[in-house]
Amino acid sequence: MAERFEIMQKALLKMLEEKKYLTLRDLLVTMNPSDIAGLFEEVEEERIPLMFRLLPKELAAETFVEMDTDAQELLIRSFSDNELKEIVDELYVDDAAALVEEMPANVVKRILKQADPEMRRSINQILRYPDNSAGSMMTTEYVALRPQMTVEEAILRIRRQGVDKETIYTCYVTEGRKLIGLVTVKDLLLAEQDDTPVQDIMLTNLISVTTHTDQEEVVRMFSKYNFLALPVVDGENRLVGIVTFDDAMDVMEDEATEDIEIMGGMLPSEKTYLRSSVFELFKNRIPWLMLLMVSATFTGLIINAFEGALAAQVALTAFIPMLMGTGGNSGSQSSVTVIRALSLDELELADIWRVIWKELRTSILCGIALAVVCFGKIWLVDRLLMGNEDITLMINLVVCLALAATVIFAKVVGGTLPLIAKALKLDPAVMASPFITTIVDAVSLLLYFLFASSLLGI
């Protein structure tokens, strides 16, 4: 599939090079806008405007929306005012608003000049809402019906207005701008009588969000209720827009990426990996690295404090990495699980005792299993196979007890900290492996030396 697509892409690029524009155009019009946008990424900059002009108006606008920001800017700069107006007229309002948000000021000025007054008003309305809110995701183009309309009148209205609307399949019933119900095209088409009033078949137990609802919450509602679209209302329950499932899907993907980046100890990035410059990657990665490096000072201090113990029993040093590593892995398993469950709304703060109890029992199982295997491994491999006579039975016991205790500590703390972060209105994802690891490193050393000093008497 992907391979066939690449072969096709090469053929098209060759046509462009050989200036076979008519054949190229005939092929382009059979393609999907996303694929055409993908093709533009492979074209040299100076040829982009030329190839873009081959596309018929509607397809051109649809392709434009799918292109990356750099190509969009390049195109707008090459457009005449008239060409720009043609594209802007074809855009859906939410796409136009997204474009305005991403372009530099002088380009924005040109876009807004070419937009008709109604579009300009809608764009400005959407841009007024905070980033990551339902208001900033929504489109103001939806089909609104009155409750007294008959099924026939409703269908007629959809036929008249539908061409400019992002979705026609869910229509909203309003009275004095207030949202009072919704009716789907399926309901309208399957209605037995054409003269049934819309209010008799509309759904009134509405699920809606307000303009300020966080986009994460919007996504959760889509994945919970399987809606095609979700109405957005203002403080007085007046319908101001709708969010469609495709935008929710994009946000769902972005939110997962953001969680993963934060869990990996990075600042979340706006751009894809290949589009990020080296300096941008550096900026996103260095803060956590610095913070964690400096906070590792503690582990250094602990080791210094127990220098005497380490000198007395040199064999102890060799197990430090294993102890810290296993502790870190145990903790990050728990924190990652809890962070994801929080993201998916499967857990809430009130569950904290259930989490602690579950992690405690799981960690005791893991701790015992690891300690037993570790004890055997140290005795068989390190002592008998490698012949390290420094490792006594007592040292082995100290290592394994510290291991079990570290695992239990790491898992309980790893499971709890994301919930505490949530309670403090912080992003739970910051409590993931890098952070947990640093705490666990210090604590595992303390536990290790505690067991060593009490059992070995040093």
* Helix locations, 103-184, DSSP H: 105-114, 117-128, 134-137, 151-161
Angle, helices 433-456/393-423, rounded to nearest 10 degrees: 150
- Contact positions with a second copy (CB under 8 A) in 159-218: 159, 162-163, 168-169, 185-186, 189-190, 204-205, 207, 213, 217
434 binds a second copy (CB under 8 A): yes
Task: Report which of 422, 439, 409, 427 is spatially closest to residue 292, judged by C-alpha positions.
Answer: 439
Sole window of 79-87, 231-239, 242-250, 447-455 interacting with a second copy (rule: CB under 8 A): 242-250
Q: Which is nearer to a second copy, 49 or 162 (CB)?
A: 162
* Three-class DSSP category at 359: helix
In terms of residues, how long is the chain? 458
Sole window of 92-100, 103-111, 338-346, 418-426 interacting with a second copy (rule: CB under 8 A): 338-346
User: What is the phi/psi pair of residue 150, to 5°?
Assistant: -85, 170
Burial class from Cβ neighbours inside 10 Å (0-12, 13-18, 19+) for residue 82 reads exposed
- Contact positions with a second copy (CB under 8 A) in 40-79: none
Amino acid at 252: M
C-alpha–C-alpha distance, residues 348 and 110, integer Å: 47
Contact, 244 vs 222, CB < 8 A?
Answer: no
Q: How far is the CB of 294 from a second copy (least distance, A)?
A: 6
> Looking up tokens 């007294």, which residue turns up?
148
DSSP codes joined into one string, 370-384:
HHHHHHHHIIIIIII
Which one of residues 19, 195, 236, 274 is an interface residue with a second copy (CB under 8 A)? 274
Q: How far is the CB of 60 from a second copy (least distance, A)?
A: 16
Q: How far is the CB of 221 from a second copy (least distance, A)?
A: 9
Q: How far is the CB of 145 from a second copy (least distance, A)?
A: 14
Token digits of residue 285: 């990665």
Contact, 229 vs 172, CB < 8 A?
Answer: no
Contact, 87 vs 80, CB < 8 A?
Answer: no
Q: How far is the CB of 325 from a second copy (least distance, A)?
A: 5
C-alpha–C-alpha distance, residues 111 and 1, integer Å: 38
264 binds a second copy (CB under 8 A): yes
Q: Which is nearer to a second copy, 79 or 340 (CB)?
A: 340
Q: How far is the CB of 364 from a second copy (least distance, A)?
A: 9
286 binds a second copy (CB under 8 A): yes
Which one of residues 19, 195, 225, 424 is an interface residue with a second copy (CB under 8 A)? 225
Which one of residues 297, 349, 392, 423 is an interface residue with a second copy (CB under 8 A)? 297
End-to-end CA distance of the chain: 67
Residues linked to residue 230 through DSSP beta bridges, in sequence order: 243
31 binds a second copy (CB under 8 A): yes
Q: How far is the CB of 318 from a second copy (least distance, A)?
A: 4
Site size toward a second copy, by CB under 8 A: 116
Q: How far is the CB of 426 from a second copy (least distance, A)?
A: 19
Q: How far is the CB of 218 from a second copy (least distance, A)?
A: 11
Which one of residues 128, 361, 423, 454 is an interface residue with a second copy (CB under 8 A)? 361
Q: Which is nearer to a second copy, 11 or 190 (CB)?
A: 190
What letter does residue 144 receive in the DSSP assignment? E
Sheet hosting strand 209-210, strand order edge to edge: 209-210, 229-233, 239-244
- Contact positions with a second copy (CB under 8 A) in 364-403: 365-366, 369-370, 373-374, 377, 381-382, 386, 388, 403
Q: Which is nearer to a second copy, 369 or 426 (CB)?
A: 369
Contact, 325 vs 402, CB < 8 A?
Answer: no
- Contact positions with a second copy (CB under 8 A) in 118-137: none
423 binds a second copy (CB under 8 A): no
354 binds a second copy (CB under 8 A): yes
| Helix (H), strand (E) at residue 65 | helix 57-66
226 binds a second copy (CB under 8 A): yes
Q: How far is the CB of 328 from a second copy (least distance, A)?
A: 7
